A and B are shown apart, each in its own frame.
Chain A
Amino acid sequence: DIQMTQSPSSLSASVGDRVTITCRASQGINNHLAWFQQKPGKAPKSLIYGTSSLQSGVPSKFSGSGSGTEFTLTISSLQPEDFATYYCQQYDTFPLTFGGGTKVEVK
């Protein structure tokens, strides 16, 4: 199975900060990498697919990059509605696997 490792597991940031979350795959995944946002008690929301493509309706403050086994999600200017937990997921190979999550908290 492909292991997905996110770092950090949590971070504290302020409104307006630029935030970067890293996701490492245990082997190459051909850029088949997605990012999701989840708020407490809510369903995940799809943000990015194919490493860097925004899902429809997702604001451009979110961006994804990377290749090979290392990927990043960047929020250019953190807003109050962005405090949440973020998950990466590889969909190159079954079983589909998620990272452990990164909780973005208010500083």
Chain B
Amino acid sequence: EAQLLESGGGLVQPGGSLRLSCAASGFIFDRSAMAWVRQAPGKGLEWVSLVLPGGGDTFYADSVKGRFAISRDNSKGTVSLQMNSLRAEDTAVYYCAKASGGTFPQSRNFDSWGQGTLVTVSS
């Protein structure tokens, strides 16, 4: 059974940076795309970013493009989200999600989720 454990959340000032990490276990990591999805307080789900198994192909929501960077380390089974130039509207719980495979459409079908880590952007 896949297990995903996020870390790195916290309180940061507007304009600051934060790096989230997700440690994966229980599946063959380098065969699955990985993604980040966020949920602002009291709001719905918003896809943020996705990385394919090789790490070279990355995709972003327009709301974070140019500010966030997703990466993965297949040797360690981790996926990270570097968040720069943070804004108040980035405040959310950030979930790490595993895709069911590495090629379309499985690479975009999320079958497991972590418990989330809270990011609060406030002065």
| A residues lining the B interface (CB < 8 Å) | 32, 34, 36, 38, 42-46, 49-50, 55-56, 87, 89, 91-92, 94-101
Q: In the complex, how many angstroms separate the beta carbon of A53 from the nearest chain B beta carbon?
A: 9
Residue of A34, A92, A95, A100 near B110 (CB, 8 A) is A34
Q: In the complex, how many angstroms separate the beta carbon of A96 from the nearest chain B beta carbon?
A: 4
Q: Is the CB of B47 within 8 A of A98?
A: yes
Is B116 interfacial (CB 8 A cutoff)?
A: yes
Complex alpha-carbon distance, A55 and B110, angstroms: 10
Q: Is the CB of A43 within 8 A of B109?
A: no
Q: Is the CB of A49 within 8 A of B109?
A: yes
Task: Give the residues in chain B near A89, CB-CB below 8 Å.
Answer: 45, 47, 110
Q: Smallest CB-CB separation from A44: which chain B residue?
A: B113
Q: Smallest CB-CB separation from B107: which chain A residue?
A: A91
Is B28 interfacial (CB 8 A cutoff)?
A: no
Is B44 interfacial (CB 8 A cutoff)?
A: yes
Q: Smallest CB-CB separation from A45: which chain B residue?
A: B113
Is B122 interfacial (CB 8 A cutoff)?
A: no
**What's the dominant secondary structure at chain B's contact region?**
strand
**What's the dominant secondary structure at chain A's contact region?**
loop
Complex alpha-carbon distance, A32 and B113, angstroms: 19
Task: Give the residues in chain B near A49, CB-CB below 8 Å.
Answer: 100, 109, 111
| B residues lining the A interface (CB < 8 Å) | 35, 37, 44-47, 50, 59, 61-62, 95, 100, 105, 108-116
Q: Smallest CB-CB separation from A49: which chain B residue?
A: B109
Q: Which of B61, B109, B115: most chain A CB closer than 10 A?
A: B109
Q: Smallest CB-CB separation from B110: which chain A residue?
A: A46
Complex alpha-carbon distance, A38 and B35, angstroms: 18
Residue of B105, B111, B114 near A32 (CB, 8 A) is B105
Task: Give the residues in chain B near A45, CB-CB below 8 Å.
Answer: 113
Complex alpha-carbon distance, A45 and B44, angstroms: 14
Complex alpha-carbon distance, A43 and B6, angstroms: 12
Going nearest first, the 6 A-B pairs with the smallest beta carbon separation are A91-B108, A96-B47, A43-B113, A98-B45, A49-B109, A101-B44
26 A–B contacts from the bound complex (CB under 8 Å): A32-B105, A32-B109, A36-B110, A43-B95, A43-B114, A43-B115, A43-B116, A44-B45, A45-B113, A46-B111, A49-B100, A49-B111, A50-B109, A55-B111, A56-B111, A89-B45, A89-B47, A91-B108, A91-B109, A92-B105, A94-B59, A95-B61, A95-B62, A98-B45, A98-B46, A100-B44
